[in-house]
């Protein structure tokens, strides 16, 4: 080397690159980290758990290590009737999302309320527990917070699971959404400038706190799904569509997801995809009048997870 | 290759690592474009090949992207750097053995990474899809040795100054390590929310802006003066190019997320910086095209110049799109449509691929000291690549405009899918042409090394006539 100009150049290079990083990494991260969680962000964290991609708890993305969302119509302890309430059950050992583990994720006010009102600080991964998303109005401003119902109301994990009128495995479903690459074509991001009529309200700044990965997608080859279950709440239609989209939407280019049904259907019978395909081709070519029946999926099948995730997008 | 892994440094002929990298890059190009063509077929005919569940679109899309980026694009960069840097420094590669090991680790790491992606093991973040153990492997076992080798070859050069090409090689591979480690930090440290989303695109933007675009440019800075014999038009404009890349190209990452709820100041800042990308872009294109003065006949007659200048000419629409499509006024129309897919392919399959193909053609001839086996086959490859790419780019641009119109007028989505169908077929045909052309290329390169006419002492490939 030995040239003064290269020494100067190297220093300038370092200065230029570092200041670029300060402006594009450090400053935005300060700004974004200061954002307060919305109720949506709290619900998403409690539904999806720690991480929906590759993690220690779920190396092969089978949807393990995830909380369970349940709908309660009666109090799990007393059995008394109550308004429909969504509760998020973390069985012992299930990893907590970032917001429950670190005090800088939820935003100052939400964090303070979650501790003072919600007793969130008493929760531990090793013992698990039941969580709710609650809110408090102060001076006309509603602030959501995480409530650790096991501490505040005495709701145990088993009691809550037993009292559930509906069990939604959307946490495991989001792992399927990531693994199967749904987000390569379906965005979860209605755009601010349009999309309001077709796809509904765009997300706001605080809707993502603690969620990872956000998978809102960049390339839209298919409809946005952020509020899909509000547009189409038919489980039957969705089931047919997942099995073979061409059954309900002849021009669709979506791949079939029939293999997510697994080897057995709900009644325990074997699923023969090759035979199904033969019958479908016959139907498509006009040789038979009716398409083959789509098997009912088993409760622990991967398609059930994915269905629960999609039907939970409201 | 195996025998050189454990040979003594002095027993390994100069250029071995570059040759290995060249051929493995061509192989990955064939694999990557083959998968791309298959994916495109699935988008045109979704019920074609129904029961091959191993090749599901949602699993194969990212395999295509990473096979092409890390296998072909960056692999060919490594190949080019490993023979260009020693030639410019009038020296040998710092360590030929490290280069051979680097190539071996590169192929092993990439195969491993692609297998995990194929299997569904992903971080769920676009462009940084690899799971973090693979990320660490890429940074430390693939990119770091490459940087050390290139940087040390520049340091131990036997010429006085450092030529433009080498600024970019040294700077870009260094920045790649930083970009790679910081860009994947959300996985190492489990960062979440919009921070994670923003850093994902910070990575995606900078991997293009600080690696792929400048290194492809660096290659053309070498090939054009070397083959035409003209000196570079302006060293100073080269300075402008280099420094404005570092300053302007490293800052607009947020323009990939214009429609997401990021802070508005960040989006506005990124958008303005994004237009300023035109500074290095225009400086670069002018510099290279002016270097061609008086030698334009070579654009027709010489294969390397034909590829290089085609790449540079494709950089013009690339930069004009890139500078303006990210402004709010245009982005709301084209965001998330096929237009962007076309733009990405213009950058990688247009500009970069043409520049690198030239470098690989030229590199294999100079290292093996043999003249190109067949000009006709090289021309055939050129036209397969150019026509295939053009079909792809034009069809996807039109599809994107249709999609954009459908998006802002809120047309039922199914109608957009139906309207796009013909363009999906054309894109598949274009991609398949690129894929098939690459086999011809591989054959031509293999035959060049084996039976190409030997270059007489003291002459370069461009100095003697084509044999066939």
Secondary structure string (H, E, C) spanning B394-441: HHHHHHHHHHHHHHHCCCCHHHHHHHHHHHHHHHHHHHHHHHHHHHHH
Query: Of B182, B197, B332, which is closest to A216 when you measure between CB atoms?
Result: B197
Contacts of B51 in chain A (CB under 8 A): 273-274, 277
- Percent of the residues in chain A that have a pLDDT greater than 90, as a whole number: 90
Query: Of A189, A213, A255, which is closest to B42 when you measure between CB atoms?
Result: A255
Q: Which of 93-112 (A) contact B at CB < 8 A?
A: 97-98, 105
SS3 state of residue A138: strand
> If we measure between CA atoms, which residue out of B68, B99, B127, B72 comes closest to residue B356?
B72
Contacts of B155 in chain A (CB under 8 A): 1
Q: How many angstroms away from the CA of A83 is the closest CA of chain B?
A: 31
Neighbours of A56 (CB within 10 A): 9
Q: Give yes or no for a contact between B130 and B37, defined as CB atoms under 8 angstroms apart.
A: no
Contacts of A184 in chain B (CB under 8 A): 57-58, 61-62
B49 CB within 8 Å of a chain A CB = no
> If we measure between CA atoms, which residue out of A20, A87, A104, A231 comes closest to residue B252?
A20
Residues B273/B277/B278/B279 CA torsion (nearest 10 deg): 90
Nearest-angstrom CA–CA distance, A244 and A82 = 40
Inter-axis angle of helices B278-291 and B303-324, to 10 degrees?
160
Q: How many angstroms away from the CA of B299 is the closest CA of chain A?
A: 35
Interface test with B, best of A202, A204, A218, A244 (most B CBs within 10 A): A218
Q: What is the mean pLDDT of residues A65-83?
A: 96
Structure tokens at A86: 């969504």
Query: Of B121, B132, B175, which is closest to A17 when you measure between CB atoms?
Result: B175
- Using one digit for the tens of pLDDT, what is the confidence trace for B285-328? 999 999 999 999 999 999 999 999 999 999 999 999 999 999 99
- Using one digit for the tens of pLDDT, what is the confidence trace for B146-165? 999 999 999 999 998 899 99
Place A3 in a pLDDT band, splitting at 50, 70 and 90. Answer: low
The reply to whether residue B332 touches residue A194, judged by beta carbons under 8 angstroms, is: yes
A102: burial class by Cβ within 10 Å (0-12, 13-18, 19+)? middle
Query: Of B182, B246, B410, which is closest to A198 when you measure between CB atoms?
Result: B410
Q: Give yes or no for a contact between A100 and A146, defined as CB atoms under 8 angstroms apart.
A: yes
CA triplet A113, A119, A121: central angle to 5 degrees? 100
Question: Quick one: pLDDT at residue A151?
Answer: 97
Q: Which residues pair with A133 in a beta bridge?
A: A146
SS3 state of residue A134: strand
Q: Give yes or no for a contact between B66 and B121, defined as CB atoms under 8 angstroms apart.
A: no
Contacts of A211 in chain B (CB under 8 A): 192-193
Neighbours of B387 (CB within 10 A): 15
Domain A178-311: CATH superfamily is Cytochrome c-like domain (1.10.760.10)
The reply to whether residue B260 touches residue A246, judged by beta carbons under 8 angstroms, is: no
Q: Which of 112-171 (A) contact B at CB < 8 A?
A: none
Nearest-angstrom CA–CA distance, B236 and B219 = 18
The reply to whether residue B47 touches residue A246, judged by beta carbons under 8 angstroms, is: yes
Query: The dihedral of CA A295, A299, A303, A306: what is its sign?
Result: positive
B379 CB within 8 Å of a chain A CB = no
Look at the domain B13-451 and name its fold: Cytochrome C Oxidase; Chain A (1.20.210)
Q: What are the residue ranges of helices labelled H in A60-107?
A: 98-101
- Using one digit for the tens of pLDDT, what is the confidence trace for A109-130? 999 999 999 999 999 999 999 9
Question: Quick one: pLDDT at residue B254?
Answer: 94
Q: What is the mean pLDDT of residues A38-66?
A: 95
Q: Which of 245-304 (A) contact B at CB < 8 A?
A: 245-246, 249, 251-256, 259, 273-274, 277
What is this model's ipTM? 0.94
- Using one digit for the tens of pLDDT, what is the confidence trace for A75-98? 999 999 999 999 999 999 999 999
Q: Give yes or no for a contact between B358 and B378, defined as CB atoms under 8 angstroms apart.
A: no
Inter-axis angle of helices B57-66 and B16-44, to 10 degrees?
150
Q: What is the mean pLDDT of residues A207-227?
A: 93
A68: burial class by Cβ within 10 Å (0-12, 13-18, 19+)? buried
Structure tokens at B231: 């000196």
Interface test with A, best of B124, B131, B169, B179 (most A CBs within 10 A): B124
Question: Quick one: pLDDT at residue A4?
Answer: 65
B380 CB within 8 Å of a chain A CB = no
pLDDT surpassing 60 at residue A1 = no
Q: How many angstroms away from the CA of A99 is the closest CA of chain B?
A: 9
Lowest-confidence region among A3-7, A55-59, B336-340: A3-7
SS3 state of residue B46: coil
B76 CB within 8 Å of a chain A CB = no
Parse chain A into domains and list their residue ranges. Answer: 1-33, 39-172, 178-311
Helix (H) or strand (E) holding A83, with range, is strand A81-90
CA triplet B120, A183, B436: central angle to 5 degrees? 70
CB pairs below 8 Å between A and B: how many?
212
The reply to whether residue A212 touches residue B408, judged by beta carbons under 8 angstroms, is: no
Spell out, as residue ranges, where chain B has pLDDT lower than 70. 1
Neighbours of B444 (CB within 10 A): 22
Parse chain B into domains and list their residue ranges. Answer: 13-451
The reply to whether residue A210 touches residue B192, judged by beta carbons under 8 angstroms, is: yes
Query: Of B247, B335, B418, which is closest to A191 when you measure between CB atoms?
Result: B335
> If we measure between CA atoms, which residue out of A50, A194, A63 comes closest to residue A125?
A50
SS3 state of residue A258: helix
């Amino acid at each position: 080397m030995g040239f003064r100009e290269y020494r100067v150049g190297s220093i300038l290079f370092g200065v230029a690159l570092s200041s670029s990083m300060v402006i594009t990494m450090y400053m935005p991260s300060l700004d974004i980290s200061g954002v307060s969680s919305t109720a949506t962000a709290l619900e998403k964290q409690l539904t999806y758990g720690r991480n929906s991609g590759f993690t220690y708890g779920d190396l092969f993305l089978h949807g393990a290590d995830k909380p369970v969302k349940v709908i309660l119509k009666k109090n799990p302890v007393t059995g008394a009737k109550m308004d429909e309430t969504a509760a998020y059950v973390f069985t012992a050992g299930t990893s907590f999302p970032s917001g429950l583990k670190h005090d800088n994720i939820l935003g100052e006010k939400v964090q303070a309320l979650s501790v003072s009102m919600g007793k969130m600080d008493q929760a531990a991964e090793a013992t698990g527990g039941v969580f709710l998303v609650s809110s408090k109005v102060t001076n006309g401003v509603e602030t959501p917070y995480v409530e650790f119902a096991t501490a505040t109301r005495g709701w145990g994990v088993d009691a809550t699971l037993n009292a559930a009128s509906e069990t939604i495995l959307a946490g495991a479903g989001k792992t399927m959404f990531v693994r199967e690459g749904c987000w390569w074509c379906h965005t979860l991001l209605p755009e601010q400038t349009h999309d309001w009529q077709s796809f509904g309200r765009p997300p706001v700044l605080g809707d993502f706190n603690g969620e990872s990965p956000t998978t809102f997608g960049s390339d839209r080859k298919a409809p946005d799904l952020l509020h899909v279950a509000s547009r189409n709440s038919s489980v039957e239609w969705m089931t047919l569509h997942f099995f073979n989209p061409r059954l309900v939407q002849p021009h669709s280019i979506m791949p079939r997801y029939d293999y997510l049904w697994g080897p057995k259907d709900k009644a325990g019978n074997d699923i023969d995809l090759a035979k199904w395909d033969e019958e479908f081709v016959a139907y498509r070519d006009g040789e038979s009048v009716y398409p083959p029946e789509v098997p009912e999926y088993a409760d622990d099948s991967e398609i059930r997870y994915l269905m629960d995730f999609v039907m939970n997008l409201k | 290759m195996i025998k050189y892994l454990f040979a003594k440094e002095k027993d390994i002929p100069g250029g071995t690592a570059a040759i290995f990298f060249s051929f493995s890059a061509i192989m990955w190009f064939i694999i990557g474009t083959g998968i791309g063509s298959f994916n495109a077929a699935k988008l045109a005919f979704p019920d074609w090949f129904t029961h091959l569940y191993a090749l599901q679109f949602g699993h194969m899309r990212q395999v295509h992207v990473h096979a092409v980026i890390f296998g072909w694009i960056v692999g060919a960069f490594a190949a080019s750097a490993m023979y260009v840097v020693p030639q410019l420094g009038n020296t040998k590669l710092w360590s030929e053995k490290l280069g051979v090991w680097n190539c071996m680790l590169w192929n092993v790491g990439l195969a491993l990474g692609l297998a995990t992606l194929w299997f569904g093991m992903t971080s769920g973040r676009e462009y940084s899809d690899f799971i973090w153990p693979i990320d660490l492997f890429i940074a430390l076992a693939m990119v770091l040795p490459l940087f050390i080798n290139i940087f040390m070859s520049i340091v131990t050069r036997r010429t006085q100054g450092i030529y433009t090409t080498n600024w970019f090689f040294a700077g870009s591979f260094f920045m790649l390590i930083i970009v790679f480690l910081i860009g994947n930090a959300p996985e190492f440290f489990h960062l979440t929310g919009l921070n994670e989303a923003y850093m994902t695109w910070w990575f995606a933007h900078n991997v293009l802006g600080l690696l792929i675009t400048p290194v492809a440019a660096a290659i053309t800075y070498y090939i054009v003066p070397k083959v035409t014999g003209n000196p570079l038009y302006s060293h100073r404009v080269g300075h402008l190019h280099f420094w404005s890349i570092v300053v302007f190209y490293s800052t607009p990452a947020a323009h990939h997320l214009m429609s997401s709820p990021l802070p508005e100041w960040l989006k506005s800042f990124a958008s303005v910086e994004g237009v300023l990308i035109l500074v290095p872009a225009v400086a670069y294109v002018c510099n290279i095209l002016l270097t061609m003065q008086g030698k334009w006949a070579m654009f027709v007659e010489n294969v390397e110049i034909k590829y290089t200048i085609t790449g540079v000419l494709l950089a013009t629409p690339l930069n004009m799109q890139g500078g303006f499509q990210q402004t709010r006024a245009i982005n709301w129309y084209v965001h998330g449509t096929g237009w962007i897919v076309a733009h990405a392919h213009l950058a990688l399959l247009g500009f970069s691929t043409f520049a690198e193909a030239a470098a690989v053609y030229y590199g294999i001839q100079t290292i093996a000291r043999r003249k190109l086996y067949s000009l006709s086959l090289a021309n055939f490859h050129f036209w397969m690549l150019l026509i295939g790419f053009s079909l792809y780019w034009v069809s996807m641009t039109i599809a994107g405009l249709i999609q954009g119109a459908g998006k802002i007028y809120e047309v039922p989505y199914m109608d957009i899918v139906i309207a796009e169908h013909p363009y999906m077929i054309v894109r598949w045909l274009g991609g398949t042409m690129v894929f098939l052309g690459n086999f011809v290329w591989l054959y031509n390169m293999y035959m060049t090394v084996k039976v190409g006419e030997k270059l007489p002492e003291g002459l370069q490939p461009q100095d003697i006539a084509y044999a066939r």
